[in-house]
Each structure stands twice: as C-alpha cells, then as structure tokens.
Structure 1
C-alpha cells in the first residue's frame, strides 16, 4: 500500500500547524519571523525591511499563534500597527486562545493602538476562548 506524502512540511513544535518550507527556514526556535521580531521591538524601519523581503510573513504566527500585529499591539507600537494594517494585515487575527490585537491592546492599556484597530473595523464584541471581550478588560 502506498501513502501520499503531504506537500507541506509540518512544524516541529506543533504537529498540527503546517508551514511553507521557505517560511520555516526563516523563523527562530519559537517560530517567530524577522517581521514578528521587528514588530515586537517596535522598530518600524526593520518592520518595513522585513516586509519588503518577505511579504508572505505579514500574517505568519509564531508557534503560539501570535502574529506580528499582535506582537506590536501587545507592546503599544502604534506606528507599526498602522503600517502592518496598511500593508493588508488582518486586524482581527487571533492567537491560540482567541485573543485579538484589540484584546491585547486593551489589556495593556495601549489606547493609541486601540483607536487604530477600532478605526479599521475590528470587532470589539469578539470573545476569546474564555468568553472575554476587549470591553471586559476595561477598568
């Protein structure tokens, strides 16, 4: 009996997650791309450079399911958030717990990021896997 092999490679740390072979080579041990690292640091020039080199990494999550937009939102890097959305990043992306960039920004009190995300139509009523919405984190 012959079995078909998958045309996609599987992630070593998450057997369910498939990654394109060229993306897999460009990540660290946590699955973070250059774009994800630059977004987390808030380095807009490095984000632009990483995007120009690998535009397919725009929505590429790490092994925990955290995409570059979420990394920037968590840290309050409003300029990076605006740039990523302008390039076509999905503003409603979710991590493995169902948290969105809006939930992350509200949780950390990053009001500039919250404004940008709401301006771009992010659903403020989305619930994560615990049933929590962004509004639930407001004090």
Structure 2
C-alpha cells in the first residue's frame, strides 16, 4: 500500500481503517466518532456490470484543496480528530475507495463534520473515476448524491 496523504494506491485496506480506529480508543476526551466508507458498487449500466473504478487526480491541487476544507471544517465544528483517505488507481467492486473519520467530544459535531466532508470531497476535489465494465469498456463516472 503506497501512500501519499491523503491518497492510497488501490483499495483502502480494512486493516488500515481498523488501525486508525483502534488508535483513537485511548483518547479519553473523545465521546463520538463518525465514519464514512465509500465502496465501489457492481452497478449495471446499459446491461454491463461495473467491475471496478480507476481513480485519477490532480494530486497537488487536491491536497491543497483538502487542507483548506480541513481548516474550514475544524473551525466550524468542535472536532478532536479528522482522517480522510481516497484511493487512486483501480479499485475493484466491493473495495473501499473513500474513508472519512471524524472524532469529537460529543457525537453531533463528528456526524455533521463527517457528512459535510464527504459532500465537499465529492464536489470540490479534482478526483475522477473511470468505471471499468466486464467487457473492458469504460465510461467516466458522474458523482451522484
């Protein structure tokens, strides 16, 4: 697993997610966490099944924009911690491609911050997904809500 914050090559391993969650169990100030896992679906589009999504990004711009979003979210919500990781390269159906984790003293700020982070990542970060079909054809993915 090659990593260049916030990007990971390929699917985000469940062990990686588990380690991050486990590392926060010793912080006695945290009262709530919110977690979002984005997973590649095996959608059927025009009678073809999605086998995976190949993610690309303008990494420097995405990192700069994510730093800005993080600052704004930390200012808006009373958070103690935030993690954001997104896949690059091919993620096969069933694989996790986005991991967002927020922590706060109380559940509400963590939940609201996590939700806003996911929405802003989808709308503002220069990350693109190419859906790869079972017949090796592809199409660029549209972000939907």
Output the TM-score relative to the length of structure 1: 0.27
* Larger proportion of strand: 2
* Larger proportion of helix: 1
* Larger RCO (CA within 8 A; separation ≥ 6): 2
Output the TM-score relative to the length of structure 2: 0.26
